[in-house]
Structure 1
Amino acid sequence: MTTKNRPYLFYELTNSICSKCLKKVEAKVIIENDCVYLSKYCFEHGREKVLISTDVEYYKRCREFIKPSEMPQHWNTPIRYGCPYDCGLCPDHEQHSCLSIVEIIDQCNLKCPICYADSSPDKKLWRSLEEVERMLDAVVSNEGEPDIVQISGGEPTIHPQFFEILDMAKSKPIKHLMVNTNGIRIAQDREFVKRLADYLPGFELYLQFDSFEREVLQELRGADLRQIREKAIAHLNEFNISTNLVVTLKKGLNDHEIGDIIQYGLKQRAVRGVTFQPIQAAGRTEDFDPAKDRLTLSEVRQSIIDQSGVFEAEDMLPVPCHPDSLAMGYALKLNEGVIPLTRMVDPQILLEGGRNTIVFEQDQSLREHIFELFSTNHSPESSAMSLKSLLCCLPFVQVPESVSYDNVFRVIIMQFLDPYYFDVRSVKKSCVHIVHPDGRIIPFDTYNIFYRGGLEERLKEIKAEMEGRRE
């Protein structure tokens, strides 16, 4: 008798949700044709199969590249219905908030065809100072000293009390404050940018920067923003305001520009790095087909390796707090050029939480610039900010007086889950969280599926059905 084998390797079992009804379903992670897929079955809507990685070895490495979970100071909701229906944060979550997002306004001065928040000029809604303070206090209550708080929207720079909100946030024990912006006001109002410089250090702009091409910007943002970007960067360079370029990626549209954007960022005085975010099926997603337009983290990582001219495979590592969804590469910008740092890090140090000093064998010229590169003796008052303050699972960094945060350059891939490739095992380790107006701290992934606006109605139906089964 001939033995018949399945055409794939069954690698692991997890739980997911049906993309149609959002009910929890069992899911298999399978390896087939040198790719990794999530295969799940809903008794009502049938089988779904979605690509989750094009790099089998990197996917397997992520399974091992984890560190002990860090908890918040207290939990916000009880465990009643199971993940992902108890957000949050409930005691079943496995990670504190590395990055907490506080949305202060629903209104925006753009109506992007791709917008996870479904913002627009027509939504003339914003949070009061009292509401924003309650949201900030919720983060502080959970974290004590939050690593990063990002003020977001909508477009936060058009909030009528924007600077009062920044003053309030800076009065809290927040290590690093970010503002998420499309850059329009940054480009059009030099005095506005000059005032932002008063919030340095410990302040950064998360600047939308998707493409150098008009057609791409029209498709993603509904407007040709090339001159806006140019003027915004000029103002930010003038005042040396720490800036992170944020690229929303769509497969076949702007993924060929990954290397060009990294090289552009390296040449800008104010730019400290680039974050690449593949589109997720959430919010307003015009002309986006999740079956063919999806980019996986592994594809973006490979494009960085192929296109950047700086980062190689050993430079783009999984982030141990949430390796499924985050990858990173760090470098120093020096007069001699760009020196990748991540390849110098012993992964075991990352997994242990970066508590030890790392010693490197390096040539004399490099040693002059980077002695005791990674150390626990870093002072927050030093001119060189620690990478630890920017991403909680990295070691502290101590560099010579001549090297400051201006020399740091990081590339991050941040992939968010959506109903198609949702993985309960992964979302439990989510460290990017949104503050609900009622004070709950909710993972970004589940917030955009269940908790934004009218989406909670479907969640209530699922919970009611579960209650009915219990009775």
Structure 2
Amino acid sequence: MPEKDYTYYDFTISLCSACLRRVDAKIIFEQDKVFMVKHCPEHGREKVLIATDIAYYKNTRNYNKPSEAPLKTNTQTHYGCPYDCGLCQDHEQHSCLSVIEVTDRCNLTCPTCYAMSSPHYGRHRTLEEIERMLDIIVANEGQPDVVQISGGEPTIHPQFFEILDIAKKKPIRHLMLNTNGIRIAKDKEFAARLATYMPDFEVYLQFDSFKPEVLEQMRGKDLTDIRRQALNNLNELDLSTTLVVTLQKGLNDDEIGKIIDYALQQKCVRGVTLQPVQIAGRTEGFDPATDRITLTEVRQQILAQTSVFNEHDLIPVPCNPDALMMGYALKLGGQAFPLTRFVDPAVLLNNSKNTIVYEQDEALHKHVLKIFSTGISTDAAVGDMQSLLCCLPQIQAPGLNYNNLFRVVIMRFIDAYDFDVRAIKKSCVHIVHKDGRIIPFETMNLFYRDEKEEYLRTIIDDYSPKITTHERSI
């Protein structure tokens, strides 16, 4: 019998990238890569690259663990994922990170923007609306792990600091500001006031490239001086900061190592988050056939472009292993020492919470500190542990704190091309819709923004579920 030139691995439900209707899809291994193959009755066959490392892709299944549900759900399951978002009762993960968009407007009109923001788009949310959104998160989560104040550009909201004051009064463990950094760069008093919200406050700073031409293509203008001045101001204040890099293949993926190395030299920077472009919203000049970059390609670029991490340091995150990868290092004296390789995966799977903020996980934090406290004397360490500790200054483990940790995260936001219902059900980055629903980031940008909901209704009108809500949830 003839043998096919690929290996069949799995089956899932995906979307047609043209009409966004659900279609069957199979996962195959071919020429050392992982592809999704799907067929729409109207738009035909699609073959989409979803991973360039078969071993890593298969290993993500080993990082799966029992789901952690929110305290309550907000919508019923009727049409099936992804047409019931809110969170529905069939979603498999609580909100590790909850996003509140306090404004639709921005002081830029970026050619790459999932929210379609601009200086004249939409409106600012009222304080009453924003507090209601925060209360919805608290009702779902109890004590939310991370709440991100976002937009648009949140710092242009006329009542910005009142928003932070309201948020800080809620039982939120960690508050994050998502910003392009323009106001931080231009207004030192503004930056200084931000610092008064520490501890448990962080700046999530857009930082895509060192190249003016790349920034002009992605952000519409050269922001290199703005980025550097913003970081100078944040460094002076030692205000905890994560650099956020939106990645497009062939445009700025060659700068991954340089950005990580640069981040490690910044006093205030606690990590780098790498986000491949999600094909949603405004993606001017973006060709999905050539410009998409997968999570595994980003991981391979980290390994190729930096000397800090090896393949054992960059591992799936259990809350959503298909979409999140992380690696930790210890920052000491201007150097970085990787940590993740010394953490038994069983600790992540059996003793830690489902969260993307591992430095706040007491069980894992104690485990990491134990590594160093038991190895202060190098003759007590073995193997790689001994090699690491002999390079470290003599330190006392209890003195380590959040400022010493540095993390690299790849955050893949699935779109219609690589949509996999199995992974979407574990999405843990959620946006609070202006009507109060809590919606996964991925499906929010595909279906639940303004006029997109009108199109979703046409899909639902054409869809006749064959099983009841009760049967589906059993």
TM-score (norm 1): 0.90
Structure 1 segments unaligned to the other structure (5+ residues): 374-398
Q: Which residue does 1:347 correspond to in 2?
A: 345
Structure 2 residue corresponding to 1:466, chosen from 444, 463, 467: 463
Kindly indicate whether residue 259 of structure 2 is the aligned counterpart of residue 247 of structure 1: no
Cα distance in 2 between the residues matched to 1:157 and 1:468: 44
Number of paired residues?
Answer: 440
Cα distance in 2 between the residues matched to 1:6 and 1:93: 36
Q: Which residue does 2:199 correspond to in 1?
A: 201
Per-residue CA shift, 1:325-354, capped at 9, x if unaligned? 100001110127211111111001111142
Per-residue CA shift, 1:216-260, capped at 9, x if unaligned? 111111111011011100000011110000001110111111011
Structure 2 residue corresponding to 1:450, chosen from 444, 447, 450: 447
Q: By how many angstroms is 1:403 displaced?
A: 2.2
Kindly indicate whether residue 188 of structure 2 is the aligned counterpart of residue 190 of structure 1: yes
Aligned partner of residue 218 in structure 1, secondary structure? helix
Q: Which residue does 1:386 correspond to in 2?
A: none
Aligned partner of residue 133 in structure 1, secondary structure? helix
Cα distance in 2 between the residues matched to 1:469 and 1:324: 29
Q: By how many angstroms is 1:199 displaced?
A: 0.3
Q: Which residue does 1:132 correspond to in 2?
A: 130
Segment of structure 1 superposing worse, 9-18 or 328-337: 328-337
Flag the 1:465–1:124 CA change in 2: closer, same or farther, 3 A.
Answer: closer
- C-alpha contact (below 8 Å) 2:176/2:203 kept by paired residues: yes
Flag the 1:454–1:334 CA change in 2: closer, same or farther, 3 A.
Answer: same
Q: Which residue does 2:426 correspond to in 1?
A: 429
Cα distance in 2 between the residues matched to 1:198 and 1:164: 13
Kindly indicate whether residue 451 of structure 2 is the aligned counterpart of residue 439 of structure 1: no
Q: Which residue does 1:411 correspond to in 2?
A: 408
Q: Which residue does 1:330 correspond to in 2?
A: 328
Cα distance in 2 between the residues matched to 1:202 and 1:93: 28
- C-alpha contact (below 8 Å) 2:264/2:334 kept by paired residues: no
Q: Which residue does 1:32 correspond to in 2?
A: 30
Letter in 1 for 2:453: E
Q: By how many angstroms is 1:21 displaced?
A: 1.2
Flag the 1:348–1:469 CA change in 2: closer, same or farther, 3 A.
Answer: closer
- C-alpha contact (below 8 Å) 1:183/1:229 kept by paired residues: yes
Flag the 1:110–1:6 CA change in 2: closer, same or farther, 3 A.
Answer: same
- C-alpha contact (below 8 Å) 2:235/2:266 kept by paired residues: yes
Letter in 2 for 1:98: C
Q: Which residue does 2:114 correspond to in 1?
A: 116
Q: By how many angstroms is 1:469 displaced?
A: 8.2
Kindly indicate whether residue 221 of structure 2 is the aligned counterpart of residue 223 of structure 1: yes
Q: Which residue does 1:391 correspond to in 2?
A: none
Cα distance in 1 between the residues matched to 2:404 and 2:466: 58
- C-alpha contact (below 8 Å) 1:67/1:353 kept by paired residues: no
Letter in 2 for 1:364: I
Per-residue CA shift, 1:144-181, capped at 9, x if unaligned? 00000000000000000000000000000000000000
Per-residue CA shift, 1:391-423, capped at 9, x if unaligned? xxxxxxxx8443221111100000001111101
- C-alpha contact (below 8 Å) 2:430/2:440 kept by paired residues: yes
Flag the 1:363–1:429 CA change in 2: closer, same or farther, 3 A.
Answer: same
- C-alpha contact (below 8 Å) 2:105/2:151 kept by paired residues: yes
Q: Which residue does 1:16 correspond to in 2?
A: 14
Cα distance in 2 between the residues matched to 1:124 and 1:459: 20
Cα distance in 2 between the residues matched to 1:305 and 1:344: 18
Q: By how many angstroms is 1:366 displaced?
A: 7.4
- C-alpha contact (below 8 Å) 1:278/1:415 kept by paired residues: yes
C-alpha RMSD over aligned residues: 1.9
The alignment-based identity, stated in percent, is 60
Alignment of 1:207-286 (within 5 A): 207-286=205-284
Segment of structure 1 superposing worse, 401-410 or 139-148: 401-410
- C-alpha contact (below 8 Å) 1:67/1:350 kept by paired residues: no
Cα distance in 2 between the residues matched to 1:42 and 1:238: 55
TM-score (norm 2): 0.90
Structure 2 segments unaligned to the other structure (5+ residues): 353-362, 386-395, 469-474
Per-residue CA shift, 1:180-203, capped at 9, x if unaligned? 000000000000000011100000
Cα distance in 2 between the residues matched to 1:169 and 1:367: 49
Cα distance in 2 between the residues matched to 1:14 and 1:191: 52
